[in-house]
Amino acid sequence: MPYYSSKLTASLFALMSISFWGVSFVSTKAVLEKLDPFSLLVIRFGIGALFLLLLLLLQRHRLYISIKYVPHLMVLGILGVFVHQVLQATALLTINASAAGWLISFSPIFTVILSLLFLHEKMNITKAVGMVLAVTGVLIVTSTRSGQSIQFAMNMGFLLMILSTLNWAIYSVLLKSLKIPYPPLVVTFYMCLVGLILTTPFIIRNRGWENLTLLDHSEWAHLVFLGVFVSGIAYWYWGKALEVLEASKVSMFLYLEPIATLAAAVLLLHEKVLLISGIGGIIIIIGVVIVNGQLVPMLLRFFKKKRL
């Protein structure tokens, strides 16, 4: 496959991943009305692991992995699946889905910082300006969700969401740098399995299975979507994108995730969005696009090739 074609395919994989993740906040918020965060995650990881196992069997992938890479998969599973999803599910108990979607756009900022520290990328004035804009946008979104001032608006939910974005940046850089020599589907399966194993004791302690009978068809549909498309396909496609593109370039697509979240929140949860929050979200997107500095050049190259 030509290099530009593989890059375009990888970009499409990343775009599909963030689309599913964008909607995931809405589905999670809907199910949290009946289930506690850990029970939700156990069912989600269970559905995801089963789906990925079926895919592995259908594609005849080997399930064997070398003992050498077990610690790698454990770390990725703990950070990228268990910790990340626990932070987000807990955060959604106190913030709405659209706010969560805007805040996730902060992740590329952390990716750039980690790249500076560990991948020795250079900082310039353009990136610095973009980071300031993104931080400003985040403050606007967090401080105007109900007309409150900044000092009274920050709560644990917003802090947990920001922590989850830092955690995701660490996960993406690690997934790229560890270079585990197995197909992304195999890696994703074991990561999902780690998430299932780590959360199962909590559903036993909380007797979370008792509330499963309270779920209606719509809420079960949200759970299946979270398991198959969010815990399964989205993580798989993100790994496929990272095989071809640099971590900082893949993180570029997170800029579009809030749009998917906002659209789903309005359509499915009937959430109201304040104009100033929308402006803050736009400032976030502008800031992280400037930080990465790759979106406009990529689009120009793409349309130039289309004309040729």
Type and span of the H or E element at 179: none
pLDDT band at 32 (very low <50, low <70, confident <90, very high): confident
pLDDT tens digits, 110-123: 877 787 777 666 66
Q: Which residue has the tokens 């585990």?
A: 180
Please give the Cα distance from 74 to 278 (Å, whole number): 38
Mean of per-residue pLDDT scores for the chain: 78
Greater confidence, 7 or 200?
200
pLDDT band at 96; cut points 50, 70, 90:
confident
The answer to whether residues 199 and 38 touch, using CB atoms and an 8 Å cutoff, is: yes
DSSP 23-42: HHHHHHHHHTTTS-HHHHHH
Q: What's the token pair of residue 171?
A: 């996960």
Look at residue 28 and tell me whether its pLDDT is greater than 80.
yes
Contacts of 256 (CB under 8 A, 6+ apart): 15, 18, 19, 22, 285
> What does the alpha-carbon distance between residue 244 and residue 147 come to, in Å, rounded to a whole number?
43
What pLDDT score was predicted for residue 210?
A: 80
CA distance 49 to 154: 35
